[in-house]
Amino acid sequence: MAPVLEIRDLQVGVDTGREVLSVLDGISLSLEPGRTIGIVGESGCGKSMTALATMGLLPDRFAITGGQILFEGEDLASMPDRQRRRLRGNALSMIFQEPMTALNPVLTVGRQIGEVLELHQGLSGHEARQRALDMLRAVQIPAPERRLDNYPHELSGGMRQRVMIAIALACRPKLIIADEPTTALDVTVQAQIFRLLRELQGETDTAIMLITHDLGAVAEMADDVAVFYAGKCIETGPVAQILQHPSHPYTQGLMVCTPTMRLGAAALAESPPALGEIAGIVPPVGRFPKACRFAPRCPLADDRCRTEDPPLRALGAAHAALCWKAEEEAFA
């Protein structure tokens, strides 16, 4: 199947006034209709920048300096703004982390959903309102007729996120970029939102790019995973493969860092062991180490890792890692 989104060797830089620092370096991803890719990594690794570059919403002084972002075969990176605006909110939409700040506080929920429809699909006010109501029903908001005339502050966090999803889905987009969509929500509500997203995805065949720091959310939602570290994509592959056999030491580190809940008999065993750690922190933009960027924090790093760029090693169908050691690990 033709991918909805294909990112090829994307480069993003930030202009500090003195020099242009690399923020994203050689990101390549591909996403097919109806599938979900999870992008994971710590803050400062470039996850959100990838999303913003795709949406054409890079902050001031950030710019795409190379590569292509092909959306249904058309390059978003070189597309004129006007054309991109037509796609945005229509075929391409985004769900933000904090629904309270992403929604307009002075417009009713119905108006905000309707607005997108009027803008992109030329619906009349009445039709738009009807569709807005349908959307609220689709995102399972109780008593949608009443909610249509509510303002965002009159809704709970979970409901606001549902409204955000209704707006994002209103025009039946081909691709949704969800940037930490449930981070601000409670776990029980998070489970509801993920379930809803999957159901709606099943109906509309929308592709989802899920940006998250939470490997649990990836396990829950994603078909494929891309792990980001310091502006590079260091491991990609199918979700089961990555979570069960992570090959890059960083991915492995993330796995052992994440506390896991043990239920049933396992919980009565001895007290849980100390968590694994990845020493140090993500280097800031402009101070990425040469050669392998993870080498300074990597327990396996040797001289080669610090002097030569690591190769992208194929480790099976669609599974690849940017690491000198990945193969040894995989076959060890």
Partner 1 sequence: MSPAEATRRSSVAPAVPARPDAPAPERPEAAPPAEARAAPPAAPPEAPADTPRPSNPAKEFVQVFLRNGTAVIGFVLLVLIAVMTFAGPAIYPVDPYTMVDLPFAEPFGPYAPLGTDYLGRDILAGIIEGGRATLTVGVTAAVLSVVIGILVGALAGYFGGWMDRSLMKVTEFFQILPALMLAMVLVTIFTASLTTITLAIGIVAWPQVARLARAEVMRIRKMDYVAAATTAGARDAYLIFRVILPGAMPPLVVAAGLAVGTAILFEAGLSFLGLGDPNTMSWGLIIGQNRNYLLDAWWTVTFPGLAIFLTVLGISLVGDGINDALNPKLRRR
Partner 2 sequence: MTETLLSVEDLKVHFPLASGDVVHAVDGVTFDVARGACFGIVGESGSGKSTVARALMRLEDPTEGRITLGTDEISSLSGDRLRALRHRFQMIFQDPYSSLNPRLRAGQAVREPLDLMGLDIKGGREQWVRQCFADVGLHPDSTRLFPHQFSGGQRQRLSIARALATQPSLIVCDEPVSALDVAIQAQILNLLRRIQREKFLTFVFISHDLAVVQNICTEVAVMYLGEFVERAPTGQLYAAAKHPYTWSLMAAALTPENSRRAGERFTITGEPPSPIDPPKGCRFAGRCPFATDTCVAEKPAIRDFGGGHTVACHYAGELTPPLEELAA
Provide the binding-site residues for partner 2, judged by CB under 8 A.
42-43, 142, 156-159, 186-192, 194-195, 198-199, 213-220, 240, 243, 253-269, 271-272, 274-279, 281-282
Query: For residues 111 and 297, which CB has a smaller minimum distance to partner 1 in the complex?
Result: 297
> What's at 85, amino acid-wise?
R
Q: How far apart are CA 175 and CA 292, in angstroms?
A: 32
- Residue 62 contacts which entry, partner 2, partner 1, none (Cβ below 5-8 A, type-dependent): partner 1
Does the protein bind partner 1 through residue 49 (CB under 8 A)? yes
Q: Is 41 left (phi over 0), alpha (psi -120 to 50) or beta?
A: left
Q: Which two tokens stand for residue 265?
A: 């008999």
We find the least distance from the C-beta atom of residue 19 to partner 2, in angstroms, to be 23
Query: For residues 35 and 47, which CB has a smaller minimum distance to partner 1 in the complex?
Result: 47
Q: Write out 84-140 in H/E/C secondary structure.
A: HHHHECCCEEEECCCHHHHCCCCCCHHHHHHHHHHHHHCCCHHHHHHHHHHHHHHCC
Q: Which two tokens stand for residue 267?
A: 């919980």
- Residue 47 contacts which entry, partner 1, partner 2, none (Cβ below 5-8 A, type-dependent): partner 1
Does the protein bind partner 1 through residue 275 (CB under 8 A)? yes
Stretch that binds partner 1, among 18-26, 89-97, 106-114, 318-326 (CB under 8 A): 18-26
Size of the residue set binding partner 1 (CB under 8 A)? 41
Q: Which of 44, 114, 152, 173 touches partner 1 by CB under 8 A?
A: 44
We find the least distance from the C-beta atom of residue 189 to partner 2, in angstroms, to be 6
Burial letters 106-116, b for 16+ CB under 10 A, else e:
eebbbbbbbbb
- Residue 285 contacts which entry, partner 2, partner 1, none (Cβ below 5-8 A, type-dependent): partner 1
Among 244, 222, 248, residue whose Cα is nearest residue 235:
248
Query: For residues 77 and 226, which CB has a smaller minimum distance to partner 2 in the complex?
Result: 226
Phi, psi dihedral angles at 36 (to 5 degrees): -125, 130
Q: Which two tokens stand for residue 131?
A: 């569709």
Stretch that binds partner 1, among 32-40, 71-79, 153-161, 284-292 (CB under 8 A): 284-292
